[in-house]
Structure 1
Amino acid sequence: MEVPLLLLISAALLLGVLGLLSSYLSLWLQAYVSGVYIGLFPLVWMSLRHVNPKTVVRVKIMAAQAGLADIPLDELEAQYLAGGDIHRVTLALITANRARISLDWKTAAAIDLAGRDILEAVQVSVTPKLIYCPARGIEELKTLDGVAKDGIQLKVQAVVTVRTNLIQLIGGATESTVIARVGQGIVSAIGSCDTYRQALADPAVITRQVLAKGLDSQTSFAIVSIDIARIEVGENLGAKLRLIQATTDIRIAQAVAEKRRAMAIARQQEMVTLTKENGARLVLAEAQIPPAVSEAFRVGPFRHATRRTRAEHRVLATRGLRKRGSLRRGPSVVPAELSEQIELWESEGGTLYGKSVRHIAPADRL
């Protein structure tokens, strides 16, 4: 009873091992028939290292059938474990080999691990790619707008033909940089035209200037050609800017004039205020005249002068009577009242025609 049981256990183990190895055996046989020599146990070790043996065998067969140099199995496993796509890398190598493009496994693997699509890069290097400038799908930017020296705006759409520069693929600028550089070059080329008619007559003037600047430097692409797909005349920005400048100048002049007018009005108000102030001072000064005159008549020199003036008037009045015949010529006696006034006048220093009344001839006194 024990012998048959051991045989059954052995048979079961053998069948399990054969069933386990059957998948690896089929892969080994497929590789062997295709001219790729991979041991059976290395396929088993791949599974233990979490490497898909079917993918590795398929890649080895593709490379062998395409006539590529033998790719070491360790490098395939390392690329797989690093997260690379060994299938696309192998397809890229096959495409580059058919197109006579120099590309080895290490360079292709490095580009793949850097996050770039190596297969697409090789395909673009073989078949040039069209880049639209400006990029399509941007509603805000449908054309590249440049202004010529005469102030006329030109709206341009360009098509850039590029191919991949595999040497600069790692660390080189991407498609967005190429679009930006080409757009900048087109705008600059339009700005260098004397008139907009020059660009309309020969759009190649723009493309020649752009190509001469070497805009594909330090990029992942090599510019093959730049073609102007569309060019149209836009607005007269020069006239619009001049109009805006003139409007601004007018507003500045109006502001300056308004400032001067305000200053003149302020000055006028100051003069009106000053005039009123001086008028008030004049009124105050005039108001001080009557008290001053009154004071002068009361205690000042006008008191004696007034008395003398009255005496002079009396003497002159008497003389007027004499001339009219009221008084007779010759020695006459001055009335007592008038004589008292004359004495009072002379005592206070009064004179008549610069002489004392006493020294005037009697005929001249009256």
Structure 2
Amino acid sequence: MTANHKGVTLVGTPCQIIAAAKIEHYPETLGESPVDFKLGLFCMENFSHSYLKEFLKQNEIEMGDVDQFRVEKGHFWAYLKNGDVFKTPLSKAKACMRKNCQVCVDYTSELADLSVGSVGSAPGWSTLIARTEKGLQALQNAENKGYIETKPLEQSGLKLLENLANKKKKENKGEIRKRESVARPVIYRRYMSDAEFETEVASCQFDDLKSDVIDIGGCVLCGACYYACPENIISIEDRKPQLRGNCPSECNLCYVACPRTYVSQEILSRDLDQKALGDYLKIVSARATNVEGQDGGVATALLNYILDENVTEEVVVVDKSEQNPWKPEAVLTSDTEEVKKAAGTKYSACPVFKVLKDNDNKEKEVS
């Protein structure tokens, strides 16, 4: 499969970033990756939109009345448009959490070019981690051109961030062991070489993806399987991938692209488990200089820089549905106003790769 998009920045959670890394790693199998820059988000967990909607309803709150959600200091917060604030212990909101989040051990998007999140920095600032030379250059250029300002991350902030990242690793490794003990394997944690990966997935098709990932609560709803399918017979309905046809013989692309099937050590190395924040070149506190936004507006400012300076031609961001309040929808855009509109954390999963495939199909129809 060959993607029409050249030069896209993907804003994504750790699991979505892993999918982007897999697609990038196998160009001969999956075609050239459309994602040229990965902007990863800190993420402890995501919530099912439908479960969250019901949870709020039980507390006499409608989704459409919420102006902003926050998860911090052990609590789940909903700031309402009328000025009221709903606060509940995070343990009570855990029932809304997607099952796949319980086996994720990556808090800071360790495979991104740049990672960003609020933890570790003062109010109004974000923590920004450059992991690759490409990410470091973007950070430095965005600062030099006045999109962001930075300052050293305080040691207390770094320690807090490392503690939280280690907490996620420790707790979710325990959940992985628990699932393995009852024959619910978490296969993305099986370390293997590229050669072993190719052998392992050679005969795997959508039915295997369904049994190995989807049916056991492992699907992260990234849309990578939908994106990779050359026959366009995978749909995403009821928040899960579905097969609407017959897979061609020997086609395993959906299984290859999924971030919760096997991941080779060349992509996700074993030693990352020993590093709270993964590998990185630089870590700072940052805030935007010319836009307002959640936690200093850093993600929005970086995307403005990326589009203004043509680092990539387009970006994939997640906005909210106009018809279904707070239901996330991926948007492919080159418009900084759309980027600004999509600012803020949504706290629910969204198939970000679906918008890339849908746009490819539209372009093919036109041509």
TM-score tier by shorter-chain length is under 0.3
Q: Which is helix-richer, 1 or 2?
A: 1
Higher relative contact order (CA 8 A, sep 6+): 2
- Normalising by structure 2, what TM-score? 0.15
Q: Which of these two proteins has the greater Rg computed from alpha carbons? A: 1
